Chains A and B, each alone.
Chain A
Amino acid sequence: MNRKVLFVGLILVAPLLVMLASGLRHDPREVISPLIGRPAPEFALLDLEGRRLSLADLRGQPVVVNFWATWCQPCAAENPIFAALARRYAGRVRFISVIYQDTPQAIRAYERQRGSWGPALVDPDSRTAIQFGVYGVPETFLIDAQGLVHEKVTGMVSFDGLTRSLEAML
């Protein structure tokens, strides 16, 4: 038994295995947003009808900002969830969406087919998405009444999860 080999080998192997095992529990795609707990980036964008909407105007009540596109499958699955929540929290929480890498035409056609649950804002050159650090769609930011980012949901939202978060913010 060569103890030196055993010792060196195990010293190399053990941390490697610990590390890989820990890696299994993380989703490599989910990044914790550094914006949480900080003021949400300001934006003033036009919706499909050309009405201007700025985040500053909405201060005083929680805002849900959803980034989406028509080419994104989970976004389509989210649609009924947001519609239901927007109905439930009407007047208490504002639900708005920002269009990500998509055309107003496509969005209009989509909304004619499936309805809309809030203003869909056009984001020229993705500048708002960049300020929010959007990695892909769908991503949803929950902003509290003071304008601080409360939570970021990467990927599809769940009705229950979002309800819990909104209750905590109200």
Chain B
Amino acid sequence: MNAASKRPRGASILQAICAPMALVAFVALFAPGAIVAQAPGAPAQDPAPLGPPLSGAALDRATEEVASLMRCPVCQGLSVADSPSSSAVDLKAEVRRQLAAGFTGDQVIASFERAYGEFIRLEPKAEGFNWMVWLMPMLAFAVGAILIYFRLRPQRPVARTLPSQEDAKPS
């Protein structure tokens, strides 16, 4: 709890440190609104179901799909869909009940998030600082591809200077 009170200051300093680590951090800084929006919103009252009630094979499929996006709370890293533990079975039943009542997959996960926190999502929500985890690999690919392009581009007669520097450049 005291960690929460310490957070804002530490966060700004550390963001300053992490920023060069990847330019993507700017997404987090540019979108303070998104960060605020992540603070838990309205109290946990049940909103109205937004989807059609499901049943049969469609319900089975949707249950598996939603459960595979949720962390089994008693396991380590397994999804609710995968885990054979009895706790996961109960969570899956709850997912199924909610889907059968017409809540959409997003609504179901959000309802679990209200009790378990963001940790329950096996895939980080694409917002705010979380963009890092999605964009950094793509950024790395782009940087690598550009470096390779410049190394492999069609040869010109002048291009044969300074071999050592070229090699220092990671391809």
Chain A residues in the interface with B (C-beta under 8 A): 2, 4-5, 11-12, 14-16, 18-19, 22, 31-36, 38-39, 41, 101, 125-127, 129-136, 151
Contact = CB atoms under 8 A, between A and B. Distances in A.
Interface string B40-60: 100110000000000000000
B69 interface: no
Contact of A11 (B1, B21, B86, B168): B21
B117 A132 contact: no
B21 A125 contact: no
A34 B73 contact: no
Contacts of B113: 34
B168 A4 contact: yes
A12 B116 CA distance: 33
Contacts, number: 77
B114 A34 contact: yes
B4 interface: yes
Q: Which 6 A-B pairs have the closest CB atoms?
A: A133-B115, A126-B90, A133-B116, A15-B21, A135-B73, A34-B117
A73 to B, nearest CB: 15
B119 interface: yes
B73 to A, nearest CB: 4
Contacts of B86: 101
B39 to A, nearest CB: 10
Interface of B: 1, 3-4, 14, 17-18, 20-21, 40, 43-44, 73-74, 86-87, 90-91, 93-94, 112-117, 119-120, 168
6 contacts: A11-B21, A12-B21, A15-B20, A15-B21, A125-B94, A126-B94
A63 to B, nearest CB: 17
A30 B51 CA distance: 34
A139 to B, nearest CB: 10
A127 B14 CA distance: 39
A35 B116 CA distance: 8
